[in-house]
Amino acid sequence: MRRSVRVLGIPLLLATLAALVVASVLFGTRPVPLDEIWPSFTAGAQEIWNALINLRMPQVPKDTDVDGIVWDLRVPRTLLGLTAGLAIGAAGAITQGHTRNPIADPGMLGVNAGAACAVVGGIYLLGITSPIAFMFFGLVGAIIASTVVFGLSSLSGSSPLTLVLAGTGLTAMLTAITSAIVLVDTNSLDQWRFWSVGSTAGRGIDVFWASLPFIGVGLVLALASGFFLNVLSLGDDMTKALGSRVVLIRALGVLTITLLIGAATAACGPIVFLGLVVPHIARAIVGADYRWIIPYSALLGGILLVGCDILGRVVARPGEVQVGVMLALVGAPFLIVMVRRQRLGTV
């Protein structure tokens, strides 16, 4: 019975995600009649499809204000929200699998703190202001932080406990450095506040293309790691007895989390709550098999992030609630309900 639910759930989630992607393009902070925005969207989509078939660069028409709204504002943020949601959802499942901790999220490994510290350092020392610069510095900071965490953990055998302790210690140190900079420099504080709230707004298509290779490679590694996480769930000693190399598996896991969370955080800012809640939803549906938990977590992450982004745009017109805030408002009650119903499975 559960296998049939697993198999049927994938196309259902894909259809839901596709519907939300279309809705994200059609609805925004500025109300535009559907009979104006739909022709612009379909014409541009047809041009992109024809360009892909003929192996040429697409020339999407931007002759009107509606074309600019669709293709310069809504499409980039929709694509970025989609890829970031997939990345954060998958990374959350992998983090809980490697740490064997049901309340772990990717931020526990220092990736978010490393990205934030690097962005603030870039603002303070070099005066960076553009989203693509935030993307670069955030990714570099995430990579350095995760490398340090894994290196410190490896000194003590790379166990789940040492991985969490190293990440927690480094996060505290990097957070202190970030706080010190933003407290003494007003410009850094103003720039950092906008980035740190977690948002897909204000990012161009260049940010999406810059993050896509890292997220794409990370998702491939994530889908391939389900079997090894199932083995790790038996315990390190049993994993070694079965002939698997625990340190290598954990190194690949940290690399995967870094690629996914590093790119998503650098592009959108820290959206950590998503990585905590979606693995529990996936586990309640498919059970304890990480070969199913990871793809379900990725798709659920994309659905929640895109859905909350749409909701944040329409509930506060003509302004908007940033997606990081909206995710906490929507996700926290859901997580509380799951706890009360004792639906949070072990990892």
Average pLDDT over residues 93-98: 89
For residue 271, pLDDT beyond 90: no
pTM score above 0.85:
yes
Residue ranges and CATH numbers for the domains of the chain are: 2-30+62-340 (1.10.3470.10)
More confident residue, 281 or 324: 281
More confident residue, 122 or 202: 122
pLDDT for the residue 108: 80
For residue 221, pLDDT beyond 90: yes
pLDDT digits (tens, 9 = 90+) for 323-340: 888 888 887 777 777 666
Predicted confidence band of residue 36 (pLDDT cuts 50, 70, 90)? confident
Q: Are 291 and 86 in contact (CB under 8 A)?
A: no
* Cα 115 from Cα 218, distance rounded (Å): 17
DSSP H or E segment with residue 61? none
Burial label for 338, CB within 10 Å (0-12, 13-18, 19+), is: middle
DSSP H or E segment with residue 197? none
pLDDT digits (tens, 9 = 90+) for 225-253: 988 888 877 776 776 776 677 778 888 88
Of the candidates 293, 278, 280, 272, the residue with the CA atom closest to the CA atom of residue 341: 280
* Cα 202 from Cα 313, distance rounded (Å): 13
Q: Are 176 and 117 in contact (CB under 8 A)?
A: no
Length of the chain: 347
For residue 76, pLDDT beyond 70: yes
As a dihedral over the C-alpha atoms of residue 10, residue 16, residue 19, residue 23, rounded to 10 degrees, the angle is -140
Q: Which of 11-20, 79-88, 261-270, 302-311 has the lowest mean pLDDT?
A: 261-270
For residue 254, pLDDT beyond 70: yes
For residue 56, pLDDT beyond 80: no
Cα-only R_g, the chain: 20
Average pLDDT over residues 100-121: 84
